[in-house]
Amino acid sequence: MMVQNNDRRGIGMTSARTRDRLVQRLKDNGIRSNTVLEQIRNVPRHLFVDEALASRAYEDTALPIGLGQTISQPYIVARMTEALLDGFVGEKMLEIGTGCGYQTAILAPLVKKIYTVERIPDLLRRAKQRLRELDIYNVQFRPGDGWEGWSKYAPYDAILVAAAAPTLPEQLLAQMMPEGRLIMPVGPTGRQELLMVVRKNDHYERISLGPVSFVPLVQGM
């Protein structure tokens, strides 16, 4: 398997020029963090999509990954990562919606420990395999209901949710560290907005990061 992935890393669509074009587009669209941009440049996104779609991996667009799920648009991944890391001083985070593992791979070098939850076991298995092949070992995986979070390792310095809920899940808010932040899309299909929620002593501050479109955060397994 490693041989196959190494071969796929070497084909023309993964050239530096192709990745540079994507990074430049993200800059043009307002991404300012050089750390985040370098991760977008360095992580081989084509390894996280079906081989038939690999030639489109460095377009700034979401792509299907099977089982009714998608790999997020690079701009959205960069936007969420930039918001999560801005002022981040902690060591551990919770990710809800592992998906194909691309967002996890972007975050892994930037956070000491990631706990990630995915409700579809087959997606979780494949994501775990890809991340191991990329020598990423600071991630702990769990099949489960994202609405419930992962209370065993709470509280978290940051929580990132890669699916939209109609309201903020109370269980996730309860698993935030004081001054911790939650980045997630909220709202019905067609009217979702990306929120950054910061936990204060007696309340939560909400900041809108703009309109987005995500698959729903489904309850249960």
Q: Write out the catalytic residue numbers.
A: 72
Longest dimension (CA), the chain: 53
Residue 151 exposed, middle or buried by CB count within 10 Å (0-12, 13-18, 19+): exposed
In three-state secondary structure terms, 144 is coil
CA distance 96 to 15: 31
Cβ 199 vs Cβ 180: under 8 Å: yes
Instruction: Output DSSP code: residue 56.
Output: G
185 strand-pairing partners: 194
- Reading the block at residue 101, the tokens are 């593992």
Q: Which positions ≥6 away from 170 have C-beta within 8 Å? A: none
Using the structure block, give the residue that is written with the tokens 């309850």.
Answer: 219
The H or E element spanning position 168 is: none
CA distance 196 to 55: 33
